[in-house]
Chain A
Amino acid sequence: ETGVTQSPTHLIKTRGQQVTLRCSSQSGHNTVSWYQQALGQGPQFIFQYYREEENGRGNFPPRFSGLQFPNYSSELNVNALELDDSALYLCASSSGSHSPLHFGNGTRLTVT
Chain B
Amino acid sequence: GNSVTQMEGPVTLSEEAFLTINCTYTATGYPSLFWYVQYPGEGLQLLLKATKADDKGSNKGFEATYRKETTSFHLEKGSVQVSDSAVYFCALSVGARSNDYKLSFGAGTTVTVRA
Contact = CB atoms under 8 A, between A and B. Distances in A.
A96 B100 contact: yes
A98 B99 contact: yes
Contact of B106 (A33, A42, A103, A104): A42
B102 interface: yes
Interface residues of A, number: 28
Interface stretch (B11-19, B42-50, B62-70, B74-82): B42-50
B44 A43 contact: yes
Given A41-B107, A42-B107, A42-B108, A103 B45 contact: yes
Interface of A: 3-4, 31, 33, 35, 40-45, 48, 56, 58, 90, 92, 94, 96-106
The 10 closest A-B pairs by CB, nearest first: A42-B105, A103-B43, A103-B44, A97-B97, A98-B99, A100-B46, A105-B43, A94-B100, A45-B102, A43-B105
